[in-house]
Amino acid sequence: MVRFKNRYVLCEVLSDDPRCRQCIEDRAVGLAVRDAIGRVHGDYGLACCSISFTVKYLNAYTGTVLLRCRKDSYRLLCSALPFVRSLESRSQRYPCALNTLHVGGTIRTCQKFLIQYNRRQLLMLLQNCTNEEERQCIQKSLLSCSLTEEQSQSGDEDDDDGTE
C-alpha cells in the first residue's frame, strides 16, 4: 500500500472589514482558493491541486486557516494564495487576503508553529502598549480567557460520591 504524502499550509485571513471574519466558512475559503488556482495556473494547476485539497481547520475568530494538499502540488497552491482577493459568503463579497504563515508536513507541526507565532504576536502587542493601563487591560483579558473548571460541577460530583 502506498502512502500519499501531504503538505499543510497555515494561513491567516487579513481583512479591514470586521464582518469578514465573522462570516468566514470553510466552503467559501475552499472555493476562493480553487478559483485563484484556476486563474493563475489554469486547468492543469487546478487538476493537480484538487486531488486532495481540503480546508482542514478554520477559526473564524482568529482568521486562521489550515489547508491540505498533495506534496507534489503545494507550490502551486502557495503561489496562488496571494491572488485570493475576496471571500463570498451568503451572497456577499468581503475583500480579504490570505497570508501564508507556515508550510508543514503534519498538522502537529503547524499547531506548534501557530502556538509560537501567537506568543510572538502577544509579546509584540505588549511591547507596543503606550501606558501601563493598556498593558494591564491586555493581561487581564488574557487571564480571563483561560479554561477553568466550575466549582458547582466539582461540588456536585463530590456530593454524588458521598451518598453512594
Each residue's pLDDT tens digit, 109-118: 999 999 999 8
How far apart CA 13 and CA 84 sit, in angstroms, is 10
Residue 60 predicted with pLDDT over 70: yes
pTM, two decimal places:
0.77
The predicted pLDDT at position 146 comes to 58
Stronger pLDDT, 160 or 29, i.e. the higher one: 29
How far apart CA 147 and CA 131 sit, in angstroms, is 28
Per the DSSP assignment, residues forming a β-bridge with 86 are: 95
Residue 2 predicted with pLDDT over 60: yes
The residue assigned the cell 460541577 is 153
Residue 154 predicted with pLDDT over 70: no
pLDDT category at 163 given cuts 50, 70, 90 is very low
Cβ count near 137 (within 10 Å): 12
Each residue's pLDDT tens digit, 15-58: 887 777 777 888 989 999 999 999 999 999 999 988 889 999 99
The three-class DSSP label of residue 70 is: strand
CA 43 to chain CA centroid, Å, is 27
How far apart CA 43 and CA 39 sit, in angstroms, is 9
